[in-house]
Structure 1
Amino acid sequence: MSVLGIICEYNPFHNGHACQINYGRQLIGSEGILIALMSGNVVQRGEFACIDKWTRAAAACQHGADLVIELPLLATLQSADYFAEFSIRLLSALGCQSFLYGTETATDEQLRQIVDWQEQHHSLLQNHIQAQLKQGKAYNVAFQNAWQEVAPKNMAINPFSPNHLLGLQYLSANAKLPQPLKSYALERAKVDLEGKPILSGSAIRQQAVAQPNSLKLAVPMLVAQMLNNHGPVTMEDYWPFLRYKLTVSSPSELATYYGAKEGIQNRLKEKLAEQSTYSQYISDLKTKRWSYNQFARLLLSILLNIKDDEWRQAQDAFWHEPNLRLLAFSSRGQAYLNQNNANLGLDIWSNLRKNREDSYRFNLQADRVYQLNPEVKIAEQIRARYPITYSP
């Protein structure tokens, strides 16, 4: 049996994601198992998802995923390299033999050539990165500058497009596995199989704020109805809560949260005084060494009350007894778990019991705060929530 994994956020689920799942199904056949390892209510850029995880999981299952499993917050509130390594390890643990990822224009072979070159010239590249960091550059800028200084000029693609960067991280993490998975890349398309437009997730999120009724052709009906009836969740919705937390916390307390370093707590306080919106505040926070996404992840850890020492303890504990929440499944997916769950070495669960709350506490905190949204009506995320079932 072929088992293929997709690491995803589906923020929100759109026509491009439907095409990706369809392509994945072609790769593994009708009897294969497609596993979507999906971010919960927090996504990797350091924001809450625009639509809740249950709605996104339902859309994925309706379009061909057999299992939708929640990616722990320990992965989703991380930079791209840690996010990719955590996710690839989990796909391997879930029994996947292959994985599929999206790119802008690159093929899998082109990206693997870049990964191979980086591995062969690791010391040279790291020396140039360190030189850039000493000049006060943020790591992503330092890496890009170093690459442009030392990499061959005849590379066929730009490795710094967002999807290319994440694809490179997936491939790099996969190469470290004792038994690497087969990798497949799918280039971004402009229209789906029915000729409907494929907009990017960011374009859809922006359009959902300004013109929610205009998205019917770009996303499945379930997603369009959710955006139209309730509107997208944005970080601006939570700004009053975050601003209060930043206001009453001392600099020394802010320094204890996950992601705080280099005395950044003082800047958090200095830039707070006159800002009336989340976007204005985070824009003023940016420095040469700190990117937007780094600040976004730090601010979310403050909002969720995640301390650095608790985070590190949870990281160590997870891989000793890894456990994952099942969000949705098809009849094929259910049969796969029934046959293989005992051999996977994972606790894949559907019912949140008291004995699981400690290991699940960061995702639980995120769900609880997510539901506090004062602008968007969000369905219950915790109590009496069981996996969504779908029969293809």
Structure 2
Amino acid sequence: MNIVGIISEYNPFHNGHLHQITEIKKLFKNNIKVICLLSSDFVQRGEPALLDKYARAQMAISNGADMVLEYPTLFCCASAESYADNAVYILNNIGIIDYISYGFKSSDNDNVKKISSLLAYESNEYKEILKAELSKGLSFPKARQHALIKLLNKSDTDIYKLSETLKSSNDILAIEYEKALIRQKSDILTVPIERTGSDYNDPYMKENFSSATAIRKYLLSEKVINNKDLADNLPPSTLKILEDYSEVKHFGSMYLFENLIFYSVISKSNDELKKYPLVNEGIENLLKNNVFSCSSVNDFINTCVNKRYPATRIQRLLIHILLGMNKGITYKYKRPGYIRVLACRNKSLLSLISSKSSLPVITSLKKSYDDFDSDLKTLIEFENKACDIYNIVCLKDKSQYLNEFSVKPMFD
């Protein structure tokens, strides 16, 4: 039996995600178990998830996943490099993962492998080129893209294909997964599955294979679930979960958290803002100078964007400030300290993880919390606070809230 890990957000789970799981099962002739590592209530790019982690875990289990584990907010709301590195760390430490499967967009996955090998152990030549590109005032992702193209242009690499790989969000994450596996000297192999349909960030609905970006935009603007556009792009179980969820919670969005985000910035001094890891080069002044002149959080983000600070960095920084993800906690806790099960179809798989994992495996916080050391309690408490903030904003009836100590994994 092979065990495949998928690092995921499922924000929400759509036909493209189902395609990946289906293709993996075909490849291994159904002789596999699929374990998904799922981002918590705030996701990598720096925004609230459309649905909470439990609803998205249910979507995964309903569509072929055998187990869903939590990827804690402190580690998943991060740059692509850090996000991938800590995700691979978790899957490595489970002790039973044979493969990691990821989606890629480019027609040439060899470029993903080539770039990841180069970045895993950066040469002095690459570092010098990167430094020169950064000195031009470029953002790090753009400077890295330029440096890699200049370096690989000296080889027989197809520069057009290379450029396309470095522009694709899926391929950038794929590179980071491969790089993390190399750096961590992991024995886990990879199973790339070519992405079908729309690009990762395509904002427009298409037939059958729209991006999660387009589906979120549609749901947040139309607020209609039971229609053909969505039915064509989502598995039936996802539609049902969306319908049930919308009865009790608002869909998460930056707009919904707008007032809290503004308050979080306004209530802090410049010196307090400097305590956040993404705040440097005077970015605290940029935030303070613009916070009162913007009519919406999206306007605020766009006003703060410049050549050095892309929108994703500003957005992620705002979520860090909202959640209190300052240097005190992010610098102290470099690695996840536990494995938390959100949903499971197979209790024998749970028993296997519990016996093999080098990190403590949690199914019930209520039962386990008193046995944790102070560091593990700090990590758990931070995650609980992030979930509390998410739910107090998204719940339609606040009296219905169940805190993290009251929730148990879903066993199908």
TM-score, structure 1 normalization = 0.90
Counterpart for residue 48 of structure 1? 48
Q: Distance in 2 between matches of 1:73 and 1:113?
A: 30
Q: Does structure 1 retain, via aligned residues, the 8 Å contact 2:74–2:325?
A: no
Unaligned runs of 5+ in 1: none
* Structure 1 equivalent of residue 203 of structure 2: none
Match of 2:188 in 1: 181
Change (3 A) 1:381 1:206: farther
| Residue in structure 2 matched with residue 389 of structure 1 by the alignment | 411
2:90 aligned partner: 90
User: Where does the alignment leave 5 or more consecutive residues of structure 2 unmatched?
Assistant: 199-205
Secondary structure at the counterpart of residue 173 of structure 1? helix
Task: Verify: 1:134 aligned to 2:135, yes or no.
Answer: yes
Q: Does 1:368 align with 2:388?
A: yes
Question: Which is further off, 289-298 or 214-223?
Answer: 214-223
> How far 1:119 moved relative to its partner?
5.7
Distance 1:237 1:180, change over 3 A: same
Alignment map for 1:129-278 (pairs within 5 Å): 129-152=130-153, 154-155=158-159, 156-157=161-162, 158-160=164-166, 161-190=168-197, 197-211=208-222, 212-213=224-225, 214-219=229-234, 220-226=238-244, 229=247, 232-278=251-297
- Would you say the 8 A contact 2:75–2:83 is kept in 1? yes
**1:329 and 2:333 aligned:** no
- Segments of 4+ moved more than 4 angstroms: 117-121, 226-231, 374-379
Distance of 2:176 and 2:2 partners within structure 1: 24
Q: Secondary structure at the match of 2:393?
A: coil
Secondary structure of the structure 1 residue equivalent to 2:382: helix
Cα distance change, pair 159–221 in 1 and its aligned pair in 2 (3 A): same
Letter in 2 for 1:102: G
1:63 matched residue in structure 2: 63
| More off after superposition, 211-220 vs 267-276 | 211-220
Q: CA deviation at 1:121?
A: 7.0
Q: From the superposition, tell whether residues 365 and 293 of structure 1 become closer, same or farther in structure 2 (CA, over 3 Å).
A: same
- Note if 1:76 corresponds to 2:63: no
Shift of the alpha carbon at 1:375? Answer: 7.9
Please give the per-residue CA displacement for 1:120-178, whole angstroms capped at 9, x wherever unaligned: 87322221110011121110111122223232352445222111111111111111232
Task: Tell me the CA shift for residue 188 of structure 1.
Answer: 1.5
Count of residue pairs the alignment pairs up: 381
- Decide whether the 8 Å contact of 1:208 with 1:227 is kept in 2: no
The TM-score with structure 2 as length reference comes to 0.86
Label 1:254 to 1:115 Cα distance change in 2 as closer, same or farther (>3 A).
closer
Q: In the TM superposition, what whole-angstrom CA distance separates every residue of 1:194-221 from its partner, at most 9, and x where no partner exists?
A: x970110101111112223342221232
Q: Over aligned residues, Cα RMSD in angstroms? A: 2.4
1:176-202 CA-to-partner distances (Å, cap 9, x unmatched) read: 2323321111111239xxx97011010
Report the alpha carbon displacement of residue 228 of structure 1 after superposing the two structures with TM: 5.7
Q: Given residue 222 of structure 1, which amino acid in structure 2 is its aligned partner?
A: K
User: Within 2, Cα distance between the matches of 1:252 and 1:179?
Assistant: 41
Supply the distance in 1 between the matched residues of 2:388 and 2:70 (Cα, whole angstroms). Answer: 16
Identify which range, 283-292 or 220-229, moves more after superposition.
220-229
Q: 1:258 to 1:116 in 2, by over 3 A?
A: closer
Question: In structure 2, what is the equivalent of residue 19 of structure 1?
Answer: 19
Following the alignment from structure 1 to structure 2, what is the Cα–Cα distance between the partners of residues 51 and 102?
22
| 1:34 match: secondary structure | strand
For 1:381 and 1:203, the matched residues in 2 are separated by 31
Work out whether residues 4 and 28 of structure 1, in 8 Å CA contact, stay in contact via their aligned partners in 2.
no
Among the aligned pairs, what percent are the same residue?
Answer: 25
Q: Which amino acid letter does the alignment assign opposite residue 128 of structure 1?
A: I
Query: Do the aligned partners of residues 377 and 278 (structure 1) sit closer, same or farther apart at CA in structure 2, a change above 3 Å counting?
Result: farther
| Residues 117 and 182, structure 2, Cα contact 8 Å, conserved in 1 | no
| Letter in structure 2 aligned against 1:148 | I
For 2:319 and 2:257, locate their aligned partners in 1 and report how far apart those are by CA, in whole Å: 10
Could you say which residue in structure 2 is the equivalent of 1:349? 362
